[in-house]
Amino acid sequence: MSISMLIHTILIVPRDHMNARYDGAILSFLIGPAIGGVLVYAYTRSLSKFKGKGLPEIAAERLPKALSLPLVLGAGLMSFIAGGMAWIHCAFIISKYLNPDMSPYALLILFVIVTCAGAVQTSKTVLFSTEIIYIVCVPLLVVLLIHGLFSKSMNYDSVKVMLDYTWVMPSWSSLSAATNTFAGYMALSVFNRTFPADKQIKHLWLIPAVGLILELFSFFIPIGFHGTDGVDDYIYTWVSTVDAFRMKYLLIERVVSIYLLILLVVTYVFTMITWHVGAELVTGAFRIRPPKKASLRTQLPRLAVCVLIGIGTVIAGARFDETTLFKASSFWMGIRMPLDVLIVFAVVLLSRWRLKA
């Protein structure tokens, strides 16, 4: 869940909130975490009643196939789309800011190949890879956020101006973007299999609290640097903001290069997780059991699904430019929120009643 919060608040969500800064973006920061917190709590507590089982097994046991198949396949496709869009965004950013001589589509192909190789590993292997984020990336991101808050270039007058729009009712796109930050709980559809029977996920209240803080930082720091109207001049608002940071006591004064490397690592781990979850759900919908150990034979069905999605991601990336990509991302987040609610409601229902005839 923390990976999802990181990737959305530094890559996709800020642009939606900037577009809606006069149309209720600030109020969506309060409503979105509340909705996301309820969904996280409901989904986590409901899955905890099915020890060692993922969504495919739960749906197969308690629903007729006519209902279980679309439910599990839909959840898998949602997970694939989330990861694919993140890689397309990252490919455009890396091509523009870090390696302008290389086509973003060539980068996207490389990213997809590496992700497919990682996504077909066992669930425990994929989970262990998230340690990279906590050990390396999170401390650096915290340093960047603190530096931005206390930078001399940070204009708090612009922040005060935005507070006048606090109580404007949010648009659907702004609210769905704020809620989408917390969509990482869907990964529990697969990773619930790996948790010990006596293990309980605690301190769930921290998730909406941390998400709220990250959303506020990702919104107000760019406005403080570029102004209430100036943020419209930048497509990737956070990258442009970090490019304005200067830390003269670091080996690299322009910290944007460090930020881009962090972004690359976070996006890879996020996409590897979402594609792993997607592959497990899609194959699980057809009763293909997850392997206890990775081998070529057990990996082939999941690899085939990831390759197909990877080809679709590259084709989509070749058809998008940056403007249409953000429009597609905003549209996707707008339809994902009710789909998430539907899946959570279904799992809550299954945890209380056995519906299968």
Taking only the tens of pLDDT, the chain with its 357 residues reads 567 777 766 777 788 888 889 988 999 999 999 999 999 999 999 998 888 889 999 998 888 888 889 999 999 999 999 999 999 999 999 988 888 888 888 999 999 999 999 999 888 888 888 877 778 788 888 888 888 888 888 999 999 999 999 999 998 988 998 898 888 889 999 998 887 766 677 778 888 888 889 889 889 999 999 999 988 888 888 888 888 887 765 556 667 888 888 888 889 999 999 999 999 999 988 875 665 565 666 778 899 999 999 999 999 998 988 889 888 988 999 999 999 999 999 999 998 876 554
Question: Residue written as tokens 């589509």?
Answer: 105
Give the pLDDT of residue 322.
85
Give the pLDDT of residue 355.
58
Answering whether pTM is above 0.75, one says yes
Q: Which residues contact 57 (CB under 8 A, 6 or more apart)?
A: 50, 284
Based on its alpha-carbon atoms, the radius of gyration of the chain, rounded to whole angstroms, reads 20
Give the pLDDT of residue 293.
60
Tokens of 85: 């869009």
320 alpha carbon, distance to own chain's centre: 20
Nearest-10 Cα torsion for 221, 34, 7, 49: 160
Maximal C-alpha separation, the chain? 68
Give the pLDDT of residue 310.
95
Residue 78 CB neighbours (<10 A): 21
Q: Per-residue b/e over 247-270, b at no fewer than 16 CB within 10 Å?
A: eeeeeeeebbebbbebbbebbbbb
CA distance linking residue 173 with residue 54, whole number of Å: 30
Give the pLDDT of residue 220.
93
What residues are paired with 254 via a beta bridge? 246
- Assess contact for 44 and 280: CB atoms under 8 A: no
Q: At what angle do helices 296-319 and 256-285 cross, to 10 degrees?
A: 120
Half-sphere exposure at residue 326, Cβ-oriented, CA atoms within 13 angstroms: 17
